[in-house]
């Protein structure tokens, strides 16, 4: 049994006291905490869907956006920031199962000045599998957004209160090849900067210690 000694904030007779807790107790507390967490917490990399920056809502329904660029990052999942590429795959996951029975209008719009214009429009379709993907060819630098709405004929209604019928949007940006290469070089040699910073910190700390 592993014991952890944690100092109290209070003291007795002017002397600090200690509390002994067991690893078994910690495991019990951790298990109780995990029981309170929604199962959605572990979806998409262990992030709660409502707090996932790659998740968005369309007409009250929850969806998830993922971008892939095989030529650049192989199977790495991308989200709100991608780079100019000849081959970009967009994947939309329909998190709410009720959305899988409705005809959907999907499209990509690109920002020009203060407005968005159509960049890619897909035919209306139903996605019972709960996911769909499509390719963007030769995408260039700029601001884009996914637009999604359901086909409503007056017969459709929501069972959940608070839902609305506004089209949903997911914004993402595409950076230039030049900016991407610069950031790639920085990421590749960022460890050198960390080492230099650590060395300077240790130097100043040791110099300060010697001066005492």
- The 10s digit of each residue's pLDDT in 130-183 is 999 999 998 999 999 999 998 654 444 444 444 445 789 999 999 987 765 555
Pair (155, 207) in one structural domain: no
Query: In this structure, what CATH number is given to the domain that contains residue 164?
Result: 2.60.40.3020
State mean pLDDT over 44-65. 79
Total domains in the fold of the chain: 3
Contact of 179 with 70, CB cutoff 8 Å: no
Contact of 137 with 89, CB cutoff 8 Å: no
Torsion angle of alpha carbons 132, 65, 185, 75, nearest 10°?
Answer: -40
- Residue 161: what pLDDT? 42
pLDDT in tens, 71-115: 888 899 999 999 998 899 999 999 999 999 999 999 999 999 999
Q: What pTM does this model have?
A: 0.59
Q: Quote the DSSP letter at residue 124.
A: P
Pair (127, 182) in one structural domain: no
Establish if 149 belongs to a structural domain: yes
The residue range of the domain holding 184 is 178-212
**Residue 116 scores a pLDDT above 90:** yes
Establish if 42 belongs to a structural domain: no
Establish if 41 belongs to a structural domain: no
Pair (57, 152) in one structural domain: yes
Pair (157, 121) in one structural domain: yes
Pair (112, 166) in one structural domain: yes
Listed in sequence order, the DSSP H helices in the chain are: 23-35, 43-46, 70-73, 177-188, 190-210
- Residue 196: what pLDDT? 80
Pair (112, 203) in one structural domain: no
Listed in sequence order, the DSSP H helices in 42-117 are: 43-46, 70-73
Q: What is the mean pLDDT of the chain?
A: 74
Q: Which residues of 139-175 are buried (b: 16+ CB within 10 A; e: fewer)?
A: beeeebbbbbbbeeeeeeeeeeeeeeeeebebebebe
Q: Give the pLDDT band of residue 50 (cuts 50, 70, 90).
A: low
Q: What are phi and psi of 113, to 5 degrees?
A: 60, -115
- Residue 73: what pLDDT? 85
Pair (28, 70) in one structural domain: no
Q: In the beta sheet, which residues pair with residue 18?
A: 7
Q: How far apart are CA 22 and CA 28, in angstroms?
A: 10
Q: How far apart are CA 149 and CA 107, in angstroms?
A: 9
CB count, 10 Å around CB of 51?
9
């Amino acid at each position: 049994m592993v014991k952890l000694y944690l100092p109290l904030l209070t003291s007795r007779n002017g002397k600090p006291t200690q509390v002994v807790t067991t690893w078994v107790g910690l495991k019990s507390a951790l298990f109780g905490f995990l029981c309170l967490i929604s199962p959605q917490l572990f979806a998409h990399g262990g992030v709660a869907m409502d707090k996932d920056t790659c998740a968005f809502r369309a007409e009250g329904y929850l969806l998830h956006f993922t971008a892939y660029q095989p030529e650049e990052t192989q199977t790495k999942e991308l989200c709100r920031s991608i780079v100019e590429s000849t081959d970009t795959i967009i994947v939309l996951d329909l998190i709410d199962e009720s959305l899988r029975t409705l005809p959907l209008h999907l499209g990509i719009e690109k920002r020009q000045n203060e407005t968005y214009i159509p960049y890619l429009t897909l035919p209306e379709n139903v996605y019972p599998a709960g996911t769909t993907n499509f390719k963007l060819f030769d995408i260039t630098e700029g601001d884009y957004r996914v637009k999604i709405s359901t086909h409503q004929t007056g017969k459709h209604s929501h069972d959940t209160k608070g839902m609305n019928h506004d089209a949903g949007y997911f914004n993402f940006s595409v950076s230039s090849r030049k900016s991407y290469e610069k950031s790639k070089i920085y990421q590749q040699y960022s460890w050198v900067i960390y080492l230099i910073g650590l060395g300077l910190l240790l130097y100043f700390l040791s110099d300060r210690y010697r001066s005492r």
